[in-house]
Structure 1
Amino acid sequence: MSNDTDEFKQDGGNKGTWIAVAAIVVIVAAGLVWWLTSGDDTTQQRQPVERSMEVPKQPETAAQPEPEPEPQAEPDDFEPVAETPDEQPQQQPEPEQPLPSLAQSTPVVMETLAQDEVDTQPLSSDSMIRDVVVFVDNLRNGMVVTEHAPVARPDGQFAVIELDDKLYIDERSYDRYDNLVSWFTSIDNQVLIKNYRHFQPLIGEAYGEIGYPDGDFTDSAIEAIDVLLATPEPDSLIEVEDDQVMYTYADPALEGLPPAQKQLLRVGPENMRKIKAKLREIKQQLKQM
């Protein structure tokens, strides 16, 4: 077995696989479409307010005996007195916190996700919203811009095995992506929907910064889905070639794929199926809108 850092020549430098986080962004964008088209069914029910009713008493004097109680008025003649609301006011929902500036949004995004019980440990960015927008916009064009990758690089190294004088990707290399993929597939979609809804103005601002002032970031996310779903799924070991600098795919069809798809191949067949299953679920939801 020989080891090399996790790179191929065409990927250009220290590039890990960042596909899972891109898929998360796709889910968030899909959630926004679902919310806008289905409406908010969580309208808070109005709670009844208890009210009291008092009948005025006749004034008393020291010389007069206690008066006889007045007879009850007939229902048709009864005139209700003014109602007085209960002293305890109805509890109002807490006002939504204003959004920070785009430049100062990353700590707020991370804190909000953590409050919603999302494990933020795999995330790594000093400018989360900007990095996500740039990353997904490139992903829809088949490119991977790792300096904007919003997730930490997985541990471990890329490894190959030699069989009959040929080199193949060692399937144990796929294991280092297991935790990242499990993290992605376990995130609650509704939490992502809520957070996309909350931060969508900042996402739109960041999308405008890169040249799409009137663009819809959701469209980019949908295109990113299609790029990832189009990645082929080899049914056997993947052969590679060593050109003394980096490894390349021996199959010209695989070597000719867009960089994003070549990156996705490296998570391994089982992890790829899990990612694609999640993406198909989201795409089907979008098609039903």
Structure 2
Amino acid sequence: MAEQDNYPDKENSSSAARWIVAVIVIVIIIGGGSWWLLSGSNESEPKQTQSMDMPKQPEEAPAVEPKEPEPTPEPEPEPEPVVSPETSTEEPVEPEPAITLPELNESTPTVLQELDNSGLEIQPLKSSQLIKDAVVIIDNLRNGMLVTDRTVVQRPDGRFSVIEVEGELYIDEQSYQRYDPIVDWFTSLDASALVDNYELFKPLFQEAYGEIGYPDSDFENAVIEAINVLLETPVPESLVRVDDDSVMYTYHDSSLEALPPAQKQLLRMGPENIKRIKAKLRDVKAAFRDN
């Protein structure tokens, strides 16, 4: 039964591999905040002070024995006004508060609006309870598991397919291409900008994380753990051989078949897409660490 989470049923292969963008969704949601701090300054008017010494009047000579009158002293030049240094009293301005967060169950429209306002593409997102679904998926991913009953993004077009080479079955490399659009979307995101705005929706993530049994745990740690699981996925260097078990395909290589379900699913996106995803996840992880 668990194997059905790892490989597509041959009659319904288009329903597989939706989970991989769960980390992508988390990264986008935590970067959805688009608020700025306002700053200003109030400069005081410069004060001027002025001083002037008036010349003293000459004293009159005694009436007796007149003498030559003493010369009237030249008035002292008027001193230049003394101007105090210009002072700037820049008063700190309290930052405007972030948006008022809605109730968790009503948060999806606000999240999507904030993402859209910040210039992030929201078209691939598909969930009526985006934060709740993403939290459940991330919690499973960090344990290497998959969730098949929650849809947070649109399904990829096309079908999983195999090719036969000299009597052996291999994953058809053309089936990897159906994941290109979602990988293009993910890798185009600015990891630092996204993580810098993490705090906006973090209270809702924490609330949702508490609802599934982790009231005292930091959801950010779960995101990092989920990223680490995906980063440990090996990158195939050649065609990936599979075996036909009548209901589903399994990996012929026992080391690949023994991988956690999450990593086995990522393998189906193809070597190039795996490399691109892992490179971006490293950027996101570094941005979390530097935040």
Alignment partner, residue 6 of structure 2: 11
* Residue 206 of structure 2: aligned partner: 204
**Counterpart amino acid of residue 6 in structure 2:** D
Confirm or deny that 1:46 pairs with 2:40. yes
- How has the CA–CA distance of structure 1 residues 20 and 216 changed in structure 2, closer, same or farther, with 3 Å as cutoff? same
Partner of 2:22: 21
- TM-aligned CA distance change 1:22 to 1:247, over 3 Å: same
CA contact (8 A) 1:17 1:263 kept: no
State the Cα distance separating 1:181 from its structure 2 match. 0.4
Give 1:112-151 correspondences, 5 Å limit: 112-151=114-153
| TM-score with structure 1 setting the length | 0.74
> Structure 2 length as normaliser, TM-score?
0.73
* Structure 1 residues 199 and 100: CA distance shift in structure 2, 3 A: same
Give the counterpart letter for 2:22 in structure 1.
V
Distance 1:8 1:160 in 2: 18
Once the two structures are TM-superposed, the CA of residue 221 in structure 1 deviates from its matched residue by 1.0
Please tell me whether the aligned partners of residues 130 and 203 of structure 1 are also in contact (alpha carbons under 8 angstroms): yes
SS in 2 for 1:146: coil
Count of aligned positions: 243
Give CA deviations for 1:65-96 in whole Å, capped at 9, x if unaligned.
Answer: xxxxxxx9x968xxxxxxxxxxxxxx997653
Residues 193, 282 of structure 1: alpha-carbon distance in 2 compared, 3 angstrom cutoff: closer
Asked whether the 8 Å contact 1:177–1:267 carries over to 2, the reply is yes
Q: Which residue of 2 aligns with 1:259?
A: 261
Larger radius of gyration: 2
How far apart in 2 are the matches of 1:285 and 1:205? 23
TM-aligned CA deviation for residue 149 of structure 1:
3.8
State how far apart, in whole Å, the 2-side matches of 1:262 and 1:243 are: 16
Aligned positions of 1:191-230 closer than 5 A:
191-230=193-232
Gaps of 5+ in 1: 1-6, 32-41, 54-71, 77-90
SS of aligned partner of 1:274: helix
Give percent identity, aligned residues only: 51
Residue 194 of structure 1: how far off its partner (Å): 4.9
Structure 1 counterpart SS, 2:98: coil
Aligned to 1:183: 185
Q: C-alpha separation between the residues in 2 aligned to 1:226 and 1:50?
A: 55
Q: Is the 8 A contact 1:142 1:260 kept in 2?
A: yes
Higher RCO, 1 or 2 (CA under 8 Å, sep at least 6)? 1
